[in-house]
Amino acid sequence: MTFIKMCGLRDEATVELAVELGVDAVGFVFAQSPRRVSVEQAARLRATVPAGVLAVGVYVKMPLDEVVATAKAANIDHVQVHDLRSADDVRMLHDAGLTVIRAVNTGGAEALDEDFGADLLLVDGTVAGAGVTWDWQDRSGLPQGRWILAGGLNPGNVARAVETSGAWGVDVSSGIESSRGVKDPELMRAFADAVRGIGRAGT
- The domain of 136 spans 3-196
The answer to the question of residue 64 being in a domain is yes
Q: What is the CATH number of the domain that holds 126?
A: 3.20.20.70
The answer to the question of residue 125 being in a domain is yes
The answer to the question of residue 147 being in a domain is yes
The structure's pTM equals 0.91
Q: What total number of domains does the chain contain?
A: 1
The answer to the question of residue 96 being in a domain is yes
111, with CB counted inside 10 A (0-12, 13-18, 19+), is exposed
Across the 203 residues of the chain, what is the mean pLDDT of every consecutive 10-residue run?
Answer: 97 98 98 94 98 97 96 98 94 98 71 82 71 62 84 94 92 95 97 89 43
The answer to the question of residue 112 being in a domain is yes
pLDDT at res. 143: 76
The answer to the question of residue 201 being in a domain is no
End-to-end CA separation in angstroms for the chain: 15
pLDDT at res. 144: 76
Dihedral sign, Cα of residue 19, residue 198, residue 178, residue 71 = positive
The answer to the question of residue 91 being in a domain is yes
CA distance 143 to 106: 12
* The three-state (H, E, C) secondary structure of the chain, written as one string: CCEEEEECCCCHHHHHHHHHCCCCEEEEECCCCCCECCHHHHHHHHCCCCCCCEEEEEECCCCHHHHHHHHHHCCCCEEEECCCCCHHHHHHHHHCCCEEEEEEECCCCCCCCCCCCCCEEEEECCCCCCCCCCCCCCHHHCCCCCEEEECCCCCCCHHHHHHHHCCCEEEECHHHEEECCEECHHHHHHHHHHHHCCCCCCC
The answer to the question of residue 202 being in a domain is no
pLDDT at res. 108: 44
